[in-house]
A and B are shown apart, each in its own frame.
Chain A
Amino acid sequence: MECKRCGNQDTKYFAYDPFHENWYCRKCIAFGRINVNEPIQSKRYQTCNIQCHYELEYPLTNAQLRAMREIRLYLDQGKDVLVYAACGAGKTELVMESIMRFINQGKKVGFAISRRQVVLEIKERMAKAFPMLHVIAVCEGYTKETDGDLIVCTMHQLYRYPNAFDLLIMDEVDAFPYRGNPMLEQIAMHACQGQKLFLTATPDDAMKEHIQKGDLALVELFQRPHGFPLIVPQVIHTLPLFQYLYIVHSLHWHKREGIQVLLFVPTIESAHRMRNVLRCFFQCAVFTSKTVDKEAVIADFHQKLYDVLICTTILERGITIRGVHIIIYQADHRVFQEASLIQIIGRVGRNIQMPSGKGIFLCTRVTKDIQDCISSLQKMNESVENHDTKELIV
């Protein structure tokens, strides 16, 4: 027995319904009931016949143009593509050309991301770049309208679109909840009847395996649009009490220079504890998954109402804040894995006006994740340098 939607074959997830005399899968029941052997009904979503083009505020760099050409080449060959790019390298801008080409051919394009916060941000960016298209966001709280010219949604919402997309772009595939979740993977596979384009800054071992097998084509881009290298963090290992003192000291200097700081802490409780200490000296706010008015806190931080924003790993991805420095308190905690650390350090220097910045990891011991993070950032920077020298020689 196999569930057509989530691919489950484990008998414990199947239940018999004596009233309708059929078996159904309980693993993916949250997406609505689906009976075994019942084909998934694919709704036909409208395809638009608009000739669209995209508008960007900044012109693309040579490295971005090269990556874009590679993506186009592989997609034309009918392959699935993995874009392995550094944080802030402009992954979203890279795929716009592919979106444009597919829509102009009358095909359906979907953009799926793990986090709701990022869905809303990407939707705004897409709507700005494609003013002639009706771009919709589908995520928690935004489910009234589910069909548009370009659909931006969370991974979970893909269950609404069986066999709907000719091109499915999946961002942050290395992030929770998509990573290591076979049910969501299967749902995503069902949503796409054509090609898939994965975007990530930290590919996992399974993806690397697929690349070696040749199932996936790899496109790399480590150079940020402003050409500055990625920021390699400074690691300071000291006792927790001294970490507190260091934070207060460095925040004091940053405040003088007018630089805002994102302070990452491992847990929600530690975030509140940190706030209780820091609010004696600075304007600060807490941002966790329990925060009620998330949009308002972020908007206030953008307007520089706070000197420091204390947050958990919820803010590690997809968020662009101008000219911010980051500090991680207890970077040796187990929630800060290599992928998280790379993403967090990727929040620094995303702006052309402020391309450099500081990232500080405070820890009591240097873990393997911290070492791996630093070595992969250095590798990315090296490969950019090598590439640049090659281009100069040519």
Chain B
Amino acid sequence: MKSYCPICFRDITHHQNLFDWLKKDAWICGDCRLIFKDVNQVFHFHGCLIEVLYEQSEELDSLIMQYQEVGDIALRSLFFHDYVSYMQKHYKGYTLVWMPSGKVKERGLETVKEMLDEFSMKKQELLECISDDPLYMRLRNDCGLKKQKVLLVDVYFHKAKLQMAFDLLKPHVQCIHVVVLCGDMKVLHTMRLD
């Protein structure tokens, strides 16, 4: 385990809370931990359940920006790190599907896919973007869907994008659950809670 925080490079025990200190498996320091504010709520959206992990904030936005746009690859496994074991247990038997990006050529990698590096769940590439605009997506020809349970993962809660993905996937799968990394609380509060 690294002894320094991968975000701010300070000692990992810097401003750490007692719980983390006792567990001794912290991966970021106490100050950077404050960037990730848990939401712990499940929302309804077009008949599907959406689980939002963190609250969207300026700090988290800039961290995601640093990973996706600047290309700081070292941050890739950091975002879902806290939820890996939970999601593997809770969504057993689901196929992990990530939201495609229109900037794969530009970035040289599928950023959302790489975020899910640590997951040992079955992963499948079902969707692909046909242009730079992420809204223009389609099912891959070679996807071979077999009425399975799908866990769709995205970084931001984006209504139009999710709607598009639902329309494409729904006729071919048994059920869809969605996990998004972060969402704007103002938008989320307008939606129905589970």
Stretch of A13-21, A56-64, A79-87 at the chain-chain interface: A13-21
Contacts of B74 in A (CB 8 A): 15, 26
Q: Is B4 an interface residue (CB 8 A)?
A: yes
Assess the A19–B109 pair: CB atoms within 8 A: yes
A1-43 contacts to B (CB < 8 Å): 12-13, 15, 17-20, 24, 26-27, 29-30, 32-33
Assess the A15–B72 pair: CB atoms within 8 A: yes
A33–B108 CA distance with the chains assembled, in angstroms: 14
A34 → B minimal CB distance (Å): 10
A149–B78 CA distance with the chains assembled, in angstroms: 44
Contacts of B85 in A (CB 8 A): none
Which interface residue of B74, B109, B114 has the most chain A CB atoms within 10 A?
A: B74
Assess the A26–B108 pair: CB atoms within 8 A: no
B42-73 contacts to A (CB < 8 Å): 66, 70-73
Contacts of A17 in B (CB 8 A): 71, 73
B35 → A minimal CB distance (Å): 15
Assess the A33–B4 pair: CB atoms within 8 A: no
Given contacts A13-B9, A26-B72, A32-B70, contact A19 B108 (CB under 8 A): yes
A184 → B minimal CB distance (Å): 16
B5 → A minimal CB distance (Å): 10
Produce 1/0 per residue, B138-156, CB < 8 A to A. Answer: 0000000000000000000
Name B9's contact: one of A12, A19, A24 (CB within 8 Å): A12
B11 → A minimal CB distance (Å): 11
Which interface residue of A13, A15, A19 has the most chain B CB atoms within 10 A?
A: A19
Contacts of B73 in A (CB 8 A): 15, 17-19, 24
Given contacts A12-B4, A13-B9, contact A29 B72 (CB under 8 A): yes
Contacts of A29 in B (CB 8 A): 66, 70, 72
DSSP majority for the B interface? Answer: mixed
Given contacts A19-B108, A19-B109, A20-B108, contact A33 B9 (CB under 8 A): no
A76–B5 CA distance with the chains assembled, in angstroms: 48
A175–B79 CA distance with the chains assembled, in angstroms: 36
B1-22 contacts to A (CB < 8 Å): 4, 9
Assess the A33–B109 pair: CB atoms within 8 A: no
A337 → B minimal CB distance (Å): 23
In the complex, what residue of chain B is closest to A10 when comparing beta carbons? B9
Contacts of B108 in A (CB 8 A): 19-20
In the complex, what residue of chain B is closest to A27 when comparing beta carbons? B9
In the complex, what residue of chain B is closest to A14 when comparing beta carbons? B74
Contacts of B109 in A (CB 8 A): 19
B18 → A minimal CB distance (Å): 26
Produce 1/0 per residue, B61-99, CB < 8 A to A. Answer: 000001000111110000000000000000000000000
In the complex, what residue of chain B is closest to A12 when comparing beta carbons? B4
A9–B105 CA distance with the chains assembled, in angstroms: 31
A12–B7 CA distance with the chains assembled, in angstroms: 12
A389 → B minimal CB distance (Å): 54
In the complex, what residue of chain A is closest to B2 when comparing beta carbons? A12
A373 → B minimal CB distance (Å): 32
Contacts of A26 in B (CB 8 A): 9, 72, 74
A148 → B minimal CB distance (Å): 27
Contacts of B66 in A (CB 8 A): 29-30
**B interface vs A, CB < 8 Å?**
4, 9, 66, 70-74, 108-109, 114
28 contacts between A and B (CB under 8 A): A12-B4, A12-B9, A13-B9, A15-B72, A15-B73, A15-B74, A17-B71, A17-B73, A18-B73, A19-B73, A19-B108, A19-B109, A19-B114, A20-B108, A24-B71, A24-B73, A26-B9, A26-B72, A26-B74, A27-B9, A29-B66, A29-B70, A29-B72, A30-B66, A32-B70, A33-B70, A33-B71, A33-B72
Closest 8 CB pairs of A and B: A15-B74, A19-B109, A17-B73, A33-B71, A29-B72, A33-B70, A19-B108, A20-B108
In the complex, besides A17-B71, A19-B109, 9 extra interface pairs with C-beta distance below 8 angstroms are A12-B9, A20-B108, A24-B71, A29-B72, A30-B66, A32-B70, A33-B70, A33-B71, A33-B72
